[in-house]
């Protein structure tokens, strides 16, 4: 997968005097070293035309802060999409079709589902905004040529999109074939659990607690069922714990399964219902799974 990142802070991602940046370490770094991931960083200021390399201007209509200029972003995107990202690049019609991702607190929430969709793309281009954001005509214009997603990583405001790009890339890259090593780890994750089939109630649950050696640590024991060798009992215990944790910290997700997912409540078995009822979520018994 090719990943282009346009930013006024390319050093944020790149190598530093102390070593590799966030794209150069861990699983992502190894995938990049293997050539499975092809990261290209672009400094937006290269497309600024004035002597000060200005990329922002005051907002029309007044208000605080600055807005990123559409002309600078427009030529940057044109060059990155059709060429190799150099300002003078000739157009290359054979460049793979890209999906443009613009991180913004005003975007749609980033989810595991979006991460999976991005992992299936051949090419992603990230446009990192700063200040009060990018002139809105840039996204409107890009939409006439490609798929564009404005995506938020949470209900808080960051100083810019760079951290959001790292978050999104970490979620996406670990889903690429060969990146994670143990493919099952991705399937068991919070939000990606269960069989992954539509209506599977384990989808959308948080992962329960995990343990490793030693069996006893500071007087705290590993739950005995995990030492039992009884795989069915272990699976049931994990499901109970996932239901309990989700009910405790993300009641919205439990409500979504019970009433927001078509057939979701019907997929809950008697034990699921008991656990959820104990956690304060009585489930209507009529549509119970057998």
Give the C-alpha separation, 44 to 256, whole Å: 41
**Dihedral over Cα of 231, 234, 238, 244: its sign:** positive
Q: How far is the CB of 81 from ligand ADE (least distance, A)?
A: 21
DSSP state of 97: P
* Strands in 120-232 per DSSP E: 123-127, 147-152, 216-217, 220-221
User: Exactly one of 35, 50, 156, 210 binds ligand ADE (CB under 6 A); which one?
Assistant: 156
Span 178-207, contacts to ligand ADE by CB under 6 A: none
- Determine which one of 189, 200, 236, 250 is catalytic: 189
Residue in the structure block whose two tokens are 């200021």: 45
Q: How far is the CB of 5 from ligand ADE (least distance, A)?
A: 13
User: Exactly one of 65, 109, 113, 154 binds ligand ADE (CB under 6 A); which one?
Assistant: 154
Burial class (CB in 10 A: 0-12, 13-18, 19+), 28: buried
* Residue whose C-alpha is closest to residue 160's, from 185, 134, 121, 195: 134
CB 245 within 8 A of CB 254: no
Span 68-107, contacts to ligand ADE by CB under 6 A: 103-105
Among 147-155, 184-192, 255-263, 282-290, which window interacts with ligand ADE (CB under 6 A)? 147-155
Q: Which is nearer to ligand ADE, 134 or 179 (CB)?
A: 134
Q: Is 155 known to be catalytic? A: no
If one asks whether residue 164 binds ligand ADE (CB under 6 A), the answer comes out as yes
- Determine which one of 105, 188, 207, 245 is catalytic: 105
Q: Which is nearer to ligand ADE, 152 or 256 (CB)?
A: 152
Q: Is 105 known to be catalytic? A: yes
If one asks whether residue 114 binds ligand ADE (CB under 6 A), the answer comes out as no
**CB-nearest residue to ligand ADE:** 103
Ramachandran assignment for 218, one of left (phi > 0), alpha (psi -120 to 50 degrees), beta (any other): left
Q: Is 99 known to be catalytic? A: no
* CA-based radius of gyration for the chain: 23
Q: Which is nearer to ligand ADE, 83 or 107 (CB)?
A: 107
Q: How far is the CB of 154 from ligand ADE (least distance, A)?
A: 5
If one asks whether residue 139 binds ligand ADE (CB under 6 A), the answer comes out as no
Ramachandran assignment for 165, one of left (phi > 0), alpha (psi -120 to 50 degrees), beta (any other): alpha
* Residue whose C-alpha is closest to residue 133's, from 109, 106, 154: 106
Q: What residues form DSSP beta bridges with 42?
A: 6
Q: Which is nearer to ligand ADE, 132 or 189 (CB)?
A: 132
Binding residues for ligand ADE, total number by CB under 6 A: 11
Q: How far is the CB of 95 from ligand ADE (least distance, A)?
A: 26
CB 165 within 8 A of CB 5: yes
- Determine which one of 10, 149, 162, 174 is catalytic: 174
Q: What does the block give as tokens for 224?
A: 């005995």
Q: Is 209 known to be catalytic? A: no
If one asks whether residue 152 binds ligand ADE (CB under 6 A), the answer comes out as yes
Residue numbers annotated as active site = 105, 132, 174, 189
Chain residues binding ligand ADE by CB under 6 A are 103-105, 152-154, 156-158, 161, 164
């Amino acid at each position: 997968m090719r990943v282009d990142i346009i930013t006024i802070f390319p050093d944020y991602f790149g190598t530093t005097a102390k070593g590799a940046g966030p794209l150069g370490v861990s699983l992502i770094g190894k995938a990049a070293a293997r050539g499975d991931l092809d990261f290209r960083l672009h400094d937006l200021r290269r497309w600024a035309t004035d002597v000060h390399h200005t990329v922002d201007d005051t907002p029309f209509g007044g208000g605080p802060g600055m807005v990123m200029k559409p002309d600078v972003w427009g030529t940057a995107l044109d060059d990155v999409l059709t060429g190799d990202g150099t300002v003078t690049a000739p157009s290359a019609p054979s460049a793979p079709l890209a999906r443009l991702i613009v991180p913004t607190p005003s975007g749609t929430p980033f989810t595991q589902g979006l991460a999976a969709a991005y992992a299936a793309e051949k090419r992603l281009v990230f446009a990192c905004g700063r200040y009060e954001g990018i002139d809105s005509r840039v996204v409107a214009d890009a939409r006439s040529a490609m798929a564009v997603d404005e995506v938020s990583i949470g209900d808080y405001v960051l100083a810019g999109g760079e951290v959001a790009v790292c978050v999104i890339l970490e979620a996406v890259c670990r889903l690429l074939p060969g990146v994670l090593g143990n493919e099952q780890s991705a399937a068991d994750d919070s939000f990606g659990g269960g069989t992954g089939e539509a209506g599977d109630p384990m989808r959308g649950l948080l992962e329960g607690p995990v343990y490793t050696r030693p069996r006893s640590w500071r007087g705290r024991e590993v739950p005995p069922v995990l030492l039992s060798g009884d795989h069915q009992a272990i699976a049931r215990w994990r499901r109970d714990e996932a239901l309990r944790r989700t009910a405790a910290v993300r009641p919205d997700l439990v409500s979504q399964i019970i009433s927001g997912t078509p057939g979701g409540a019907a997929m809950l078995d008697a034990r699921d219902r008991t656990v959820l009822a104990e956690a304060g979520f009585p489930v209507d018994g009529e549509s119970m799974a057998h």
